[in-house]
Amino acid sequence: QHPGWPARLGPVRVAAGQVTLRPVRLRDAAAWSRIRLRDREHLEPWEPTGRGAWEARNHASNWPSLWSSLKAEARRGAMIPLVIEVDGSFSGQLTVGNIVRGALRSAWIGYWVAKDLSGQGVATAALALGLDHCFGPVGLHRVEATVRPENLASQAVLRNVGFREEGLLRRYLDVDGAWRDHLLVGLTVEEISGTVIDRLVREGRVILP
Ligand code: ACO
């Protein structure tokens, strides 16, 4: 096992309810697929282009292979694939990827949240829990994220937890069928006083149970 895996993070309370993070499970297939098929228009503009149609890629029968590749990456210490739960129900995912150790000790972080929970603080709380985990038990020094300039909601989430803009990556990632520019944001452990969750508590964005 690798530091910080497997992990259960939270709970913290936001407007939507109680937010917790836990490892992906094989039995997430139905909930994962139901939300992904229902929320296609909400998700597809921001996600890496996949092979095949959205319906096929997000069918419940596709989850076992996705789950097993996420678990394999987690076992080799390269990823932390978590489910975001709100009041105990599957509500999205938060993934830490490309964990590199040695003198870099860095990773990227990404997330999505079901559309019916939008604007109730779920992504902000999940990201804060994920970052505190990365800078704590996982032992990373830097976490980065990339976001399309058009994705204003996600940029607000990144700002809420203290990410700093580092530059514009031109034609960086194949997203929604084309090479899309992305803003690069970064955060290092020295930039956080206390924890990211502490900051959100001080700002009244989350409540500790
Ligand atoms: N313009 C500007 N700000 C907006 C807009 C908008 N159109 N819509 C929402 N916001 C703001 C809200 O005001 C809020 O900011 P505030 O807390 O400062 O008021 C913020 O966006 C949303 O915060 P949360 O409620 O914590 O986020 P939510 O749980 O709604 O999830 C998310 C946001 C993750 C972007 C969700 O909408 C989603 O899953 N979208 C589709 C997938 C996606 O874009 N994922 C992120 C890809 S980039 C990455 O992973 C680094």
pTM of the model: 0.98
Verify whether ligand 1 is closer than 6 Å to residue 172 (CB atom).
Answer: no
For 24-46, how does the pLDDT look when each residue is reduced to its tens digit (9 = 90+)? Answer: 999 999 999 999 999 999 999 99
At residue 57, the pLDDT reads 96
32, 84, 157, best to mutate for ligand 1 pocket (most atoms within 8 Å of CB): 157
Number of C-alpha atoms within 13 angstroms, CB side, residue 199?
18
Rounded to the nearest whole angstrom, what is the distance from the C-alpha of residue 109 to the centroid of ligand 1? 15
59-104: per-residue pLDDT in tens?
999 999 999 999 999 999 999 999 999 999 999 999 999 999 999 9
Burial bucket for residue 181 (CB in 10 Å: 0-12, 13-18, 19+): middle
Please work out whether the CB of residue 129 comes within 6 Å of at least one atom of ligand 1: no
Alpha-carbon gap, residue 51 to 31, rounded angstroms = 22
Tens-digit pLDDT profile for residues 158-193: 999 999 999 999 999 999 999 999 999 999 999 999
Quick one: pLDDT at residue 1? Answer: 66
- How much distance in Å is there from the Cα of 114 to the middle of ligand 1? 11
Residue nearest to atom 8 of ligand 1 (CA): 153
What ipTM score was computed for the predicted complex, to two decimals?
Answer: 0.99
